[in-house]
């Protein structure tokens, strides 16, 4: 699903114009980004939590030349899904997936 698909889905479900739905989706994403930028943790019950993790500085390699390159420390966004989300994904996957075929016995067995 892309951001455009998400905007279309919000527009359809809430019965708003696509432009209004786009504002809603952009506002939510912008709020998440601003909170992560300031170091806050975002928790959406039943969905998961967003936070930042600190990566240590390290020595990397330029893949083209093989030269050593210092990679500075940086913050990266991290998402941890909730138990409810994990359960929903696994339940839907098991219900929607076709049953695995049993192995057929070899001839003469």
Closest CA to 71 of 79, 60, 81, 80: 60
Predicted confidence band at 60 (pLDDT cuts at 50, 70, 90)? very high
Q: Is residue 109 part of a domain?
A: no
CATH number of the domain bearing residue 17: 4.10.520.10
**pLDDT value for 94:** 58
pLDDT band at 93 (very low <50, low <70, confident <90, very high): low
Hunting for tokens 């600190």 — which residue is that? Answer: 54
Please write the tens of the pLDDT for every residue from 14-57.
Answer: 999 999 999 999 999 999 999 999 999 999 999 999 999 999 99
Work out how many domains the chain is built from and give that number. Answer: 1
- Two structure tokens written together for 18: 């696509």
């Amino acid at each position: 699903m892309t951001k455009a698909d998400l905007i279309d889905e919000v527009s359809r479900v809430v019965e708003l114009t696509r432009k209004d739905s786009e504002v809603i989706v952009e506002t939510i994403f912008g709020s998440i980004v601003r909170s992560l930028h300031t170091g806050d943790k975002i928790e959406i019950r039943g969905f998961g939590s967003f936070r930042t993790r600190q990566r240590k500085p390290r020595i990397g390699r330029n893949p083209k030349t093989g030269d050593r390159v210092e990679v500075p420390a940086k913050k990266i966004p991290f998402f941890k899904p909730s138990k409810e989300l994990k359960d929903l994904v696994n339940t839907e996957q098991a219900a929607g997936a076709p049953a695995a075929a049993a192995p057929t016995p070899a001839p003469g067995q």
